[in-house]
Amino acid sequence: MKKPFVHLRLAASLGCLLPLAVLSSENRDRPSVARPNVLFIAMDDLNNWIGCMGGHPQTITPNLDRLAQSGVLFANAHCPAPACNPSRSAIMTGLSPHRSGLYENAQKMREVMPDADLLPRYFRNHGYWAGGSGKILHYFIDAHSWDEYHPAKESENPFPRTLYPDTRPLSLPRGGPWQYVETDWGPLDATDEEYGGDWLVSKYIGEQLSRKRDKPFFLACGIYRPHEPWFVPAKYFEPFPLEDIQLPPGYLENDLDDVPPSGQRMGPNRYFAHIQKHGQWKQGIQGYLASIHFADAMLGRVLDALENSPNKDNTIVVLWSDHGWHLGEKEHWQKYTAWRATTHVPLMIRVPAGASPGLPSGTQAGSVCDQPVSLISLYPTLTELAGLPAKADNSGPSLLPLLKDADADWKHVAITYLNRPGSVGVSGKDWRYIHYANGDEELYSIKADPYEWKNLATLPEYAEKLATFRARVPKEFAPLVKAKVTSLNKLRWVAANGTPTPPSKPDGGTFNVHFINRRENPVELFWMDAEGKPVERGTIAAGKTNAQRTKPGEVWQISARNGKPLGHFVVSDRESQAVIPAD
């Protein structure tokens, strides 16, 4: 059923789509039958702050709105996980975290799922050309899954050149080694072309769309903004004067008073307190809105290229975001939580009439679906729309019934998996439930309380509702598969130069650092205390590894057996490897 949008700032629709010959169901799997193209668009860290979803009143997203108006907007879509790697890996493999064991960013997809067929590979195996540009997976390309990529797939670096300020940080001082270096924002004196980044991605995608190929294509477009850092050309900041910036509608002071201990620990983080301390809250919101505005403009370039291409009438368009983003809601900044601010994401699908064997009539323009859906469903949905054989191990159901009728009966919930097995957020049509691995619970009526301000889990009158949602939590979870040491972030080796090794300045939680001795002789390991005095922590034999619990900002000195310092490492904000170079 066609429903009204919640936002009035809507651009005109993309225009009438010319129908192709309707394909009979009995011909769906014959090689001679034409297959639809797929334009697969990902936006990074985009929450519901877009016009057609009404997440923030000041956002400017005419192109997101026009795409939604031309197809089906899933207004109750949720990510498989509230972090880039597990969410994107689940979407691209069709396997949910609780089945794969991939729950967090530190893991490596190919270590956890070495044989999984990614979406582009599956389409290639069934006669498609597969290409892409920008971030689709978590900071790698997976070259063997694609025919072509920009930058070159062999580089395994999905990012084209991007302009950043010469001096950083620009706006937000670093609070310490615990802080992600990219948490910063500000306008750049540059044109879109000079900026590069997503402009170059949209240029490459537009060029591919303009070609008429002898094969159907699966074309992936990874728009990186509004991922941090929020540096974009100044013209995208101009519509958002700082004095007019409105705080997030979902922010409520003391919002965590009624959540259980697990939520109390999940909510407040150092980022939000640090941003407030330096008076940068509104500036951060301004940077996020500007980055969304820029990302929307790059989307507009892609949509215009498709509209002016020979492929416009037989190309399925899918747009999604890997997860949302907190900007102070629940006293939190960033992602990683099970609250709706992180799990609720844009999802739009447009199928031209006559293009899809699975949906010959196409999607109804302007449809809005309120049923709870997960992005884990994209894999089975696209293969069914293309008339390809179903992949047997997909974790989610196809969305085809909802593409046919946005009000169709739907028995499913959308589950978002946190970074440890057993902790999930469960989204229903009008309710949300959060279950932590230790048994802590939260329950919210989204119809009455869209920002999840009142936790109902402890009230006896909601016991039946709680029981209903508890039953939807998976009974079994695959264990978390730890990343190999050699796959971890590498700390920088600072060779000794005759000056004293600096003291440790610990600031943050503990984790392991793995010291790997590549020298032909044993070395001595020392932890530096706050006065810069070395504290002996043992010997590392040649070719061996020594793991130590440590914190961000701590310094570890490596010395020869005669006591002469060879160099040192400064610990960053995550588990890492520290490779002691060969003699």
Two structure tokens written together for 132: 């892409």
pLDDT of 30 above 90: no
Q: Which amino acid is at 52?
A: C
Query: Is 301 in a helix, a strand, or coil?
Result: helix
Q: Are strands 333-334 and 315-321 parallel, antiparallel or unpaired?
A: unpaired
Residue 138 is among the residues annotated as catalytic for this protein = yes
Per-residue pLDDT reduced to its tens digit, 306-335: 999 999 999 999 999 999 999 999 999 999
pLDDT of 21 above 50: no
The sign of the CA dihedral 393, 394, 397, 399 is: negative
Q: Which homologous superfamily does the CATH classification assign to the domain defined by 36-416?
A: Alkaline Phosphatase, subunit A (3.40.720.10)
Confidence at residue 25, expressed as pLDDT on a 0 to 100 scale: 35
Nearest to 148 by CA among 164, 124, 127, 166: 124
Query: Is 38 in a helix, a strand, or coil?
Result: strand
Confidence at residue 158, expressed as pLDDT on a 0 to 100 scale: 98
Which stretches does DSSP call E strand in 224-307?
Answer: 230-233
Over residues 1-7, the mean pLDDT reads 43
Please state whether the peptide bond connecting residue 216 to the residue before it is cis, i.e. omega within 30 degrees of 0: no
Per-residue pLDDT reduced to its tens digit, 506-551: 999 999 999 999 999 999 999 999 999 999 999 999 999 999 999 9
Confidence category of residue 33, pLDDT binned at 50, 70, 90 = low
Per-residue pLDDT reduced to its tens digit, 204-228: 999 999 999 999 999 999 999 999 9
Per-residue pLDDT reduced to its tens digit, 259-304: 999 999 999 999 999 999 999 999 999 999 999 999 999 999 999 9
Nearest to 513 by CA among 481, 489, 538: 489
Query: Is 283 in a helix, a strand, or coil?
Result: helix
Output the CA torsion 250→252→257→262 (10° steps): 30
Residue 516 phi/psi, 5-degree rounding, is: -115, 115
Q: Which fold has domain 485-580?
A: Immunoglobulin-like (2.60.40)
Per-residue pLDDT reduced to its tens digit, 106-128: 999 999 999 999 999 999 999 99
User: In sequence order, what are the beta bridge partners of 431?
Assistant: 445
Contact 582, 520 (CB under 8 A): yes
Task: For the chain, give every domain's residue range.
Answer: 36-416, 424-470, 485-580
Two structure tokens written together for 91: 């979407």
Neighbours of 125 (CB within 10 A): 12
Which stretches does DSSP call E strand in 178-216?
Answer: 185-188
Which stretches does DSSP call E strand in 126-252?
Answer: 129-134, 148-150, 185-188, 217-223, 230-233
Residue 84 is among the residues annotated as catalytic for this protein = yes
Confidence at residue 530, expressed as pLDDT on a 0 to 100 scale: 96
Q: CB neighbours of 491 closer than 8 A, spacing ≥ 6?
A: 513, 569, 570, 571, 572, 576, 577, 578, 579
The sign of the CA dihedral 127, 133, 136, 139 is: positive
What is the C-alpha separation between 263 and 255, in angstroms, rounded?
11
Per-residue pLDDT reduced to its tens digit, 127-184: 999 999 999 999 999 999 999 999 999 999 999 999 999 999 999 999 999 999 999 9
Confidence at residue 86, expressed as pLDDT on a 0 to 100 scale: 98
Mean pLDDT of the chain: 94
Q: CB neighbours of 28 closer than 8 A, spacing ≥ 6?
A: 357, 358, 387
Confidence at residue 453, expressed as pLDDT on a 0 to 100 scale: 98
pLDDT of 10 above 60: no
User: In sequence order, what are the beta bridge partners of 559?
Assistant: 524, 565
Alpha helix locations (H) across 36-129?
62-70, 84-93, 97-100, 109-112, 119-125
Per-residue pLDDT reduced to its tens digit, 337-386: 999 999 999 999 999 999 999 999 999 999 999 999 999 999 999 999 99
Over residues 560-574, the mean pLDDT reads 95
Q: Is 508 left (phi over 0), alpha (psi -120 to 50) or beta?
A: left
Contact 396, 74 (CB under 8 A): no
Instruction: Single out the catalytic residue among 138, 227, 332, 344.
Output: 138
pTM: 0.92
Contact 287, 230 (CB under 8 A): yes
Q: Residue 382 burial by CB count (10 A; 0-12/13-18/19+): exposed, middle or buried? A: buried
pLDDT of 15 above 90: no
Confidence at residue 34, expressed as pLDDT on a 0 to 100 scale: 84
Return the biggest CA–CA distance within the chain: 81
pLDDT of 565 above 50: yes
Confidence category of residue 16, pLDDT binned at 50, 70, 90 = very low
Two structure tokens written together for 123: 């389409």
Instruction: Single out the catalytic residue among 56, 78, 79, 84.
Output: 84
Query: Is 36 in a helix, a strand, or coil?
Result: coil
Two structure tokens written together for 142: 């997976």
